[in-house]
Structure 1
């Protein structure tokens, strides 16, 4: 029996430790490079979050070109046969963004190390300081846009009672009190739950065990089509991951508020 085959999406450190070194496991570290150079999961390869975004203003967080993604994946020794475990040092934003990216390219076998580096450091799990450089691989991917909500898709969904938009920004951004684009506020009808409120700060930033109930009170439920966003689809990487872990029908708006709030005619509430 292959122990890699049945790994859950939300993976605890104690589940990962016995599998370290398995040839079918690829561990992706999205932590600050300085932290990675000091300590990380044994065998993990560090990835710069900037390699996952286009960087083109104003909506710099949009999905990059296929060529850019293929280069990033080649650099980490990607193979469609490997089970990818992802973590970061901030509670899941960039890790969730990476898992969304894997969904977009059709990679099915992935897990999030619940709590990430906070669990490694505070619960004294095995680590190393070796800088890992995998042998580059040949990568050819195709984009599945069913996980992507475009601006036009959202506009078409605004009057759909079966769709709910999860805004992962701060309450101040949601209400237009703090503005990082030309216009402030939120998408009409969107509900707000800041991404960090889905974390358990007493359990080293693991996903809250009661998060399904919290979301249900906001109308984010199994019978809805969910779209999540933030300013640049970084924070909403985590909320996408949370929704995916709950089995929600969820897409991410990678243009996020940096696109919506910089357009002159998109509808806005505050």
Structure 2
């Protein structure tokens, strides 16, 4: 393998790679089960999106157990030599959650297919319906906590100049007019950019212009010199904001996997509504 693949991969690049044996690719599709069965990129292996979350109330978005992670990634055939291509059918939320999970596992050989299934299908690339079952591996799970934010990582940093929070929920969830937990509102100081604003609908759900996104983040105080925590309700939508910051080269980002389902359901967490 002469050169590494870019983190942000275009459909044309992946189309060429499908016939290139110099890369040990593992294409992981986090689309819905229905869409995966209907069509997918040739060779793609399905991961049920919800399998990337523990699913345990009242904080369903938390990281699955080490045993669950072992089972998921052994089943899909992950091994240290594989370069993962992550994609989904919704513009990057679940694919971003997958990439965050890979960071937690310490597996950093990955790329995101820009625009995912929408780009691939709408621009005429080949698809298949065959359900791919790769040879299982015995994937040894070691959890790297660096990409993971917990409540106790956030509260002491609130108001710090070197700290920022990206709330990827809708404006209504952020301002407390739409309540999806016992309490509504947002973490004090959190900046709201809805994950949907990261998708360019004129370009088949590719990420929006990255220079403009970086300028917007800078203007809102979410610059690269800060530690940034991203969250939504269950760290699904904020998978896309985490991924966008990875692509932009942010050195210190964490995904708050408890997200608002934890923060808004606890009684000891500060909340703002302005």
Q: Same fold (TM over 0.5)?
A: yes
Alignment of 1:58-69 (within 5 A): 58-69=58-69
- 1:212 is matched with which residue? 214
Contact 2:159–2:189 (8 Å) recurs in 1: no
2:184, 2:264 within 8 Å by CA — same for their partners in 1? yes
Q: Structure 1 residue 265: deviation in Å?
A: 1.9
Alpha-carbon shift at residue 230 of structure 1 (Å): 0.2
Superposition CA RMSD, Å: 1.0
1:141 is matched with which residue? 141
Instruction: Please state how far the C-alpha of 1:201 moved relative to its aligned partner.
Output: 1.3
Q: CA deviation at 1:12?
A: 0.4
User: Counterpart of 2:146 in 1: which secondary structure?
Assistant: helix
TM-score if structure 2 supplies the norm length? Answer: 0.96
TM-score normalised to structure 1 length: 0.97
Query: Within the alignment, does 1:173 sit opposite 2:173 as a pair?
Result: yes
Using the TM superposition, give the Cα deviation of residue 9 of structure 1 relative to its aligned residue in structure 2, in angstroms. 0.7
Q: What is the deviation of 1:181?
A: 0.2
Deviation at 1:39, TM superposition (A): 1.2
Q: Aligned residue for 1:233?
A: 235
Aligned to 2:270: 267
> 1:205 & 1:253 partners in 2: Cα distance?
24
Report the secondary structure of 1:146's partner residue. Answer: coil
Separation in 1 of the partners of 2:17 and 2:200? Answer: 26
The answer for the alignment partner of 1:18 in structure 2 is 16
In structure 1, the residue matched to 2:6 is 8
Query: What 5-or-longer segments of structure 2 have no aligned partner?
Result: none
Provide the rounded CA distance (Å) in 2 between the counterparts of 1:85 and 1:10.
10
Given candidates 216, 231, 250, the residue that maps to 2:253 is 250
Give distance in 2, aligned partners of 1:13 and 1:102.
22
Matched residue of 2:202: which SS?
coil
Measured in 1, the distance between the counterparts of 2:183 and 2:83 equals: 41
Instruction: Give matches, 1:70-219, under 5 Å.
Output: 70-209=70-209, 210-219=212-221
Indicate the larger mover: 91-100 or 50-59: 50-59
Q: Are residues 1:37 and 2:37 paired?
A: yes
**Partner Cα distance (1:146, 1:254) in 2:** 12
| Matched pairs, number | 268
Which secondary structure does the structure 2 equivalent of 1:101 belong to? Answer: helix
Give secondary structure in 2 for the equivalent of 1:202: helix
SS of the aligned residue for 1:213 comes to helix
Unaligned runs of 5+ in 1: none
For 2:149, what is the secondary structure of its paired residue?
coil
